[in-house]
Amino acid sequence: MTHSPSDISHLLETHGLAPRRAFGQNFVVDPNTVRRIARLADVGPGDFVLEIGAGLGSLTLALAETGAHIVAIEIDKGLIPILEETLADYDNVTIINEDVLKVDLKKLIEEKWKSNL
């Protein structure tokens, strides 16, 4: 189940957050859009997806529902509790709170992808 526009508003209000211009944040509020992206990406069980800028987890949820293994990187530590709560039921999602430019992607690939092949 993906976030609806009212879910997004509620999450932001409850956690006292707003999109941060410094991070270029824009939160997807249309569940049909994220489902379409996940469908067009043609991912499913056994696939591995690196999502950069998971935000509130709208796209992450749609991708997780495909059964793919998701590594979601989010720089904004204020969004991490929301992501952890939203994605708690999915054991196929790993959340990393880091600036993607500082992530050792080679190490991440070796740990997350190669170990599961």
Domain containing 89 — which CATH number?
3.40.50.150
What percent of the chain is predicted at pLDDT more than 90? 53
User: Total domain count for the chain?
Assistant: 1
In this prediction the pTM is: 0.80
Give the pLDDT band (50/70/90) at residue 114: low
Residues spanned by the domain of 78 = 5-116
pLDDT value, residue 92:
95
Cβ neighbourhood burial of 69 (10 Å; 0-12, 13-18, 19+): buried
Average of pLDDT values for 50-56?
92
